[in-house]
């Protein structure tokens, strides 16, 4: 008799819901008893709403308020996970000390400001953040879907700095992409880039040591399809090399306009096979992306390094060579005589209107306005919005993108929330009190994060039962324009 194939049952993901909106003027009190007044809505994610906010005081919250409050229903998982990440890694002193030790002027990790719970019509969880401006995906679109080689080199160095900090603090981000990279809010801070959305951040190296390499098809394909790492496609826990790989795809897209697998983003197995095929043969990837053969040298070397790091499971736990990778881009800048002054070329291509994420407000002009009198890269100006992704013939620094048509945007994507404190994830009621106690001891200043959301899925319950990390999945129907979608988020302006 032929062996009976074991059926792997797919678990239904939990449905995350959006919170009831707050009214302007509402006051929230965080776990440190600081009061925050809510202003206009400034953004919306798949699970939460964002409002401008100020420390409570007389008058209403102005359009230039320095803070943002992100809210989610109390029993949602992602914000709980995100707050946990911030508490562990993004306290102001930690960031300050790191910058001092590394002699850095800027680090793209947002500082933790505060968090708490709020009893309104329903119970909410909230987090106070620094306020940021436009996201890089919008800048990329506004620039005609190409960034200059100079901008990409500066961004690569900044992002490698950011990743090194996260990795040194036991976390990986696992969802690096333009729409999660925000510029500073004020005109003075427009040359600063912050990595946000830690809903997928994963503690790859808890105190007990680095996680083991283990493929699990049930957990496969987490992340944003075009950038998902090959480990994630195989259901392997996220590790440092995955962030390096994801960043490589982001840099590649910025330089060539479109990744070769963007023609079929709905098929995760296709994406996995394509990435594996190209990772094993970087020249073929470069040929597909740069048919004229003009791939910048630093990107080629970055991708070759990444290929060596990720194709073999034996290098899963390896610490990436951040210095080598940064050096590739700083040498390119030096060679071309470009300064890393942080004044990006793409700032002169202004996004037309805020569709989603950034709700248009009177401050939009300030956030998006080009740097006056700013000279562009030696070779070219950014293309006008919506122009075909083509480079002028004199643009020797970058080359034409692949001509493939992007497939209609993936309809259903998986949003995975991995509790950043993977030892104390959202747990079922029975385990909740125990987890709360442990968490409180770890995070004494966060009275809120001691009450994690209850998992509503068989998966969460099973995970808790087995005493291992909990993960909450959600699948939300999406149909969006390429790149704008973040996991499970309707980002087509609706």
Q: For residue 261, list its beta bridge partners.
A: none
- 288-322 burial code (b ≥16 CB/10 A, e <16): bbbeeebbbebbbbbbebbbebbeeeeebbbebeb
Nearer to ligand ATP, 37 or 131 (CB): 131
Which residue's CB is nearer to ligand ATP, number 240 or number 489?
489
- The least distance separating ligand ATP from the CB of residue 299, rounded to whole angstroms, comes to 26
Minimum distance of ligand ATP from residue 104's CB (angstroms): 20
Closer CB to ligand ATP, 201 or 333, in the complex: 201
168, exposed or middle or buried, with CB in 10 Å at 0-12, 13-18, 19+?
middle
Q: What minimum distance in Å lies between the beta carbon of 133 and ligand ATP?
A: 7
Smallest distance from ligand ATP to CB 51, Å: 10
Can you say whether the dihedral through the CA atoms of 458, 462, 465, 467 is positive or negative? negative
- Is 212 in the active site? no
Contact 248, 41 (CB under 8 A): no
Q: Which of 75, 151, 175, 222 is catalytic?
A: 175
Judged by beta carbon, residue 47 or residue 80, the one nearer ligand ATP is 47
Please give the helix or strand (H or E) that residue 416 lies within, else none.
Answer: strand 412-418
- Running DSSP on this structure, what letter comes out for residue 155? H
Q: How far is the CB of 209 from ligand ATP (least distance, A)?
A: 29
Nearer to ligand ATP, 196 or 309 (CB): 196
Runs of H (alpha helix) within 360-428: 364-368
Task: Please tell me whether 410 is known to bind a ligand.
Answer: no
HSE, CB side, 13 Å, CA atoms: give it for residue 409. 18
8-state DSSP, 362: T
Residues that bind ligand ATP (CB under 6 A): 42-43, 45-48, 50, 68, 78, 129-132, 135, 182, 196-197, 199, 357-358, 486-489
What is the DSSP code string of 174-218? ----GGGEEEESSGGGTT-EEE---SS-EESS-TT-PPPP---GG
Per DSSP, the three-state class of 145 is coil
> Whole-angstrom Cα distance, residue 407 to residue 165?
35
Hey, which residues does 35 pair with through a beta bridge? 29
Q: Which is nearer to ligand ATP, 131 or 301 (CB)?
A: 131
Number of residues in the chain: 494
- Which residue's CB is nearer to ligand ATP, number 141 or number 395? 141
Q: What is the DSSP string of 69-114?
A: EEEEETT-SHHHHHHHHHHHH--HHHHHHHHHHTT-S---SPPP-E
CA separation (Å) from 97 to 100, 102, 107, 165, 311?
5, 9, 11, 11, 35
Q: Least separation, in Å, of the C-beta of 81 and ligand ATP?
A: 10
Residue least distant from ligand ATP (Cβ): 45
Residues flagged as binding site for ATP? 70
Catalytic sites, residue numbers: 175
Residues flagged as binding site? 70
């Amino acid at each position: 008799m032929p062996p009976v194939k074991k059926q792997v049952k797919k678990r239904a993901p939990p449905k995350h819901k959006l919170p009831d909106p707050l009214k302007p003027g509402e006051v929230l009190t965080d776990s440190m008893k600081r009061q925050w007044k809510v202003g206009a809505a400034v953004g919306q994610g798949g699970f939460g709403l964002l409002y401008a906010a100020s420390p409570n005081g007389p008058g209403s919250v102005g359009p230039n308020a320095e803070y943002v409050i992100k809210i989610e229903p109390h029993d949602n998982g992602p914000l709980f996970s995100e707050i946990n990440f911030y508490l562990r890694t993004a306290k102001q002193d930690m960031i300050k000390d790191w910058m001092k030790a590394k002699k850095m002027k800027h680090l793209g990790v947002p500082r933790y400001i505060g968090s708490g719970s709020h009893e309104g019509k329903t119970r909410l969880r909230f987090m106070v953040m620094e306020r940021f401006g436009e996201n890089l995906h919008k800048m990329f679109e506004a620039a005609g879907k190409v960034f200059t080689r100079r901008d990409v080199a500066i961004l690569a160095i900044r992002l490698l700095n950011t990743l090194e900090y996260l990795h040194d603090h036991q976390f990986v981000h696992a969802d690096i992409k333009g729409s999660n990279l925000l510029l500073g809010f004020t005109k003075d801070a427009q040359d600063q880039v912050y990595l946000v959305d830690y809903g997928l951040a994963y503690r790859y190296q808890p105190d007990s040591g680095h996680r083991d390499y283990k493929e699990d098809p049930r957990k496969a394909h987490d992340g944003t399809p075009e950038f998902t790492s090959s480990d994630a496609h195989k259901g392997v826990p996220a590790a440092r090399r995955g962030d390096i790989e994801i960043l490589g795809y982001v840099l590649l897209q910025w330089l060539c306009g479109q990744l070769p697998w963007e023609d079929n983003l709905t098929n995760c197995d296709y994406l996995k096979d394509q990435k594996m095929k190209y990772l094993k043969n970087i020249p073929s990837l470069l040929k597909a992306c740069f048919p004229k053969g003009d791939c910048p040298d630093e990107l080629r070397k970055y991708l070759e390094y990444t290929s060596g790091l990720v194709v073999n499971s034996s290098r899963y736990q390896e610490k990436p060579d951040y210095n080598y990778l940064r050096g590739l881009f700083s040498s390119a800048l030096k060679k071309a005589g470009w300064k890393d002054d942080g004044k990006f070329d793409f700032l002169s291509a202004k996004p037309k209107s805020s569709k989603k994420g950034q709700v248009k407000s009177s401050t939009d002009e300030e956030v998006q306005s080009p740097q006056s009198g700013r000279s562009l890269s030696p070779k070219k100006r950014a293309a006008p919005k919506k122009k075909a992704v083509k480079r002028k013939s004199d643009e020797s620094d970058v080359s034409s993108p692949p001509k493939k048509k992007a497939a209609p945007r993936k309809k259903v994507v998986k949003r995975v929330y991995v509790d950043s404190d993977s030892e104390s994830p959202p747990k079922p009621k029975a385990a909740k009190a125990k987890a709360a106690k442990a968490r409180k001891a770890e995070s004494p200043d966060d009275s809120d994060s001691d009450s994690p959301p209850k998992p509503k899925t068989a998966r969460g319950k099973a995970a808790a039962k087995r005493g291992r990390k909990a993960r909450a999945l959600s699948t939300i129907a999406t149909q969006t324009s390429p790149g704008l979608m973040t996991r499970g988020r309707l980002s087509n302006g609706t």
